[in-house]
Structure 1
């Protein structure tokens, strides 16, 4: 009987011990939950840090920097936007969208985005890959049975991934762009244009090296049509633009939906001067739209960048797919970046990985750039052909956002301005040679005293004329202007060709007259 209280006592001690254990466990659990929430809060603040650091002072520095670069390089006008996660946190216009209207561009001004379209086309291809409708590691002829390059053995090895990464066997834009002139339908028919690729010879094994290729993305555009059963335009509208809310991104003729005041005028170089031109889709045709035909705005490109950063309302690709296709595949021609299957190039900037895509149209220069580690992106659209500055300016803005000093861009002599100077030189040389031709014809008529000098003149002018005709008839360096040549260069080459043929004809007649004189004198 005396043992019962002892048992009760022991039981009470166990209950109290269990209670203490529960209390301690509760405290630990509460402390763990508190630490977890604190960590989440800290990480959220850390991820928001870039946005918090982008204060008025930083934005003012960016504004001053862009204005300085535009003024320094005499840019007519353009617009810039900065994206953080899913928001366009800054946008500003510089210069004018149109010299006649004298209006400042905004985030809603429509510019020709040019090769930024490649990143949009790549997204569509990767979307179809995820859906199992195609495999980017399979050859192109799997989806377009008749497709081939001139080198049949190598052609069979070219995969969609090779097209995405500009590594299809050494071919580049120089070989593909001018093919729009190879057939009467090639400029406006995507299939007709791609069929002309059978004329291109692959210079190396696919995947060996990178060579920027506009036409390769037009092949991808045709693949989209064959695989989806839709037109390229309908697929892009329904599966890329609408899901991302890119309501102002259009192709060619669809621009008539906009009020004219929303469209930036396109300016290009002609004999060292910037002049307005007809819109790029009218100049280039529609066959090359998948590689560079989209018109867009800073606002819409910001939505595409948000998708690339993983913060769009509707993600078009899985994070794993986006990560895998952003791996550098082959080096670019300059070796300072790498091509990826995402349509972007990747490089290091201020010890940070950045992805970018530039666009160079006949009347525009554009770029989008994003920094995944900072959840930041930049969109820049310029209303003139000035391909030397858009990427350096975007990198300067990115440097400011990451806390570094930007570099100043200085390109007083752009590539197109140099072409203008060269064209003027050809025109002046032609005028000089025409003057000499007239003077020679009036003074000497068709006489020559030296057969050696006559034969040498015939040889020189024959070589010049033959070279120029070979250039004109066989080389199509681009899809713009007169058979691939900018208008001013076409004028210069045309004049010098006419003059060289005049001189060749003159010396040929002199030779005939020389032989006739010798024959009449009995010397032959």
Structure 2
């Protein structure tokens, strides 16, 4: 072989070696700047104090942070800041119960009453045959327990028995459809699975997850117990927005909802978690490797919703090229995207529910070369702005009509009420009463009380209704006073 051929061969081998060991998503400086800029814009527009993004590719991990874990104390976010995971928690709980199945302690085809014999449901007023309701129904959200009607069963509290109390609140709950008929998301399904884990393992759910799942997987900044994570000093403060302001808010504790929405983790650990899901991180116990793949299998026993199936704590498309789960708590918003074929994972953790978690699509676009991206406000933020603006406008109008009526009454003489005037007064009086009743019953439309409704939704829903009621009452007063005519 001539010297030229030797040189060409060496160069070719070198290029092949470099090619096979370079991530398809090795970020350029331009892409890094674009992602950081997107985060800064998102934080500014949404009012979110802090957010953190992690990107896990085949060979590299990237972290981007913006803002504050606690703005009052000036604590900046970083990859070790710990956040509430909200419903991103479900994939961890699902892995925990699949682990118990693999160890032979249960089967997902078992009836739930084998482990919780006192548990019962009703459909159209009649008892459900609980022998036919399996753990798989809870895993895949096919029980008929759904968010629209059953989140009110989650009681407040932080005592160790709250998981038991939460599931007991579901006894004889009226399901929306017969178990197994279809898939509709209901967070409380995973609280039931959490209690099954406690029953089978003989440990608290929190201890089981930390000892049997998190630590074996090398997740040392992931917790199930709020007290433990608070002791680290790394937990981000939660915030909520209302009336164009973002303020710290200590939401009620729902410890009984821990399996479904109150695990805690950092971007550092979530990056590793994504690597485990993608098969990039291999230094984990062998037993978990098959379980991870199993958790990505969408439930095909029911029809897809928007072309997506629910696996074990993950939403997946038909060919499993896209695996995702988002979460939202009163003061935190989270999201994870996984692209197995590309060996790419992207996560977002933030300490405000107003963050638009769909910005992960923008980050994916940047990674695909579409550098120019803009942040779009979330529906919650848009609603709050609209309702806050309406509150101010309606209140000002109410004040105006009230004083116009007072002025007319003081300065003019009273005439007898005409039939037309009486009808008009009656109309506005009935309108005022109707709006007042609506103020009282609106949360029940969502299966909640005003207290629980305002924990999860913006205060401006209530203030806008009150302002509308005041305006209607002021118009009634103004119409009544219009009978006063100039002398």
TM-score interval (norm. to shorter): 0.7 to 0.9
Q: Deviations over 1:77-129 (max 9, x none)?
A: 322223346x7632232344343455542211222221111111111111111
The answer (yes or no) to whether the contact 2:35–2:366 under 8 Å persists in 1 is: no
TM-aligned CA deviation for residue 480 of structure 1: 5.2
2-side partners of 1:185 and 1:265: how far apart?
18
TM-aligned CA deviation for residue 296 of structure 1: 1.1
Which 5+ residue runs of structure 2 have no aligned equivalent? 1-13, 482-487
Residue 252 (1) aligns with residue 229 (2): no
SS in 1 for 2:252: helix
SS in 1 for 2:255: coil
TM-score calculated relative to the size of structure 1? 0.73
Q: Deviations over 1:123-144 (max 9, x none)?
A: 1111111122222123322321
2-side partners of 1:215 and 1:137: how far apart?
19
2-side partners of 1:315 and 1:177: how far apart?
35
Q: Deviations over 1:327-358 (max 9, x none)?
A: 2225665x1532112x111238xx98021222
SS in 1 for 2:54: strand
What is aligned with 1:15?
Answer: none
**Over alpha carbons, which structure has the higher Rg?**
1
The answer (yes or no) to whether the contact 1:187–1:284 under 8 Å persists in 2 is: no
Residue 360 (1) aligns with residue 328 (2): yes
SS in 1 for 2:122: coil
TM-score calculated relative to the size of structure 2? 0.78
What is aligned with 1:162?
Answer: 137
The answer (yes or no) to whether the contact 2:296–2:320 under 8 Å persists in 1 is: no
The 1:123/1:486 distance shift into structure 2, 3 A limit, reads same
The 1:449/1:400 distance shift into structure 2, 3 A limit, reads closer
SS in 2 for 1:353: coil
Write the mapping of 1:327-406 to structure 2, written as runs, cut at 5 A: 327-329=297-299, 333=305, 335-341=306-312, 343-347=313-317, 353-388=321-356, 390-393=357-360, 395-398=361-364, 403=368, 405=370
The 1:92/1:454 distance shift into structure 2, 3 A limit, reads closer
2-side partners of 1:453 and 1:297: how far apart?
60
Which 5+ residue runs of structure 1 have no aligned equivalent? 1-40, 511-524
TM-aligned CA deviation for residue 497 of structure 1: 5.8
2-side partners of 1:377 and 1:233: how far apart?
26
Residue 176 (1) aligns with residue 144 (2): no
2-side partners of 1:222 and 1:502: how far apart?
53
The answer (yes or no) to whether the contact 2:121–2:173 under 8 Å persists in 1 is: yes
Q: Deviations over 1:363-396 (max 9, x none)?
A: 22222233333433333222322453x3442x44
Match of 2:100 among 118, 123, 128: 128
What is aligned with 1:68?
Answer: 37
The answer (yes or no) to whether the contact 1:150–1:200 under 8 Å persists in 2 is: yes
What is aligned with 2:435?
Answer: 464
The answer (yes or no) to whether the contact 1:175–1:200 under 8 Å persists in 2 is: no
Aligned length: 449
Match of 1:203 among 176, 185, 194: 176
1-side partners of 2:257 and 2:286: how far apart?
24
The answer (yes or no) to whether the contact 2:249–2:331 under 8 Å persists in 1 is: yes
Q: Which has the higher helix share?
A: 1
The 1:166/1:416 distance shift into structure 2, 3 A limit, reads farther
Over aligned residue pairs, what C-alpha RMSD do you find?
3.9
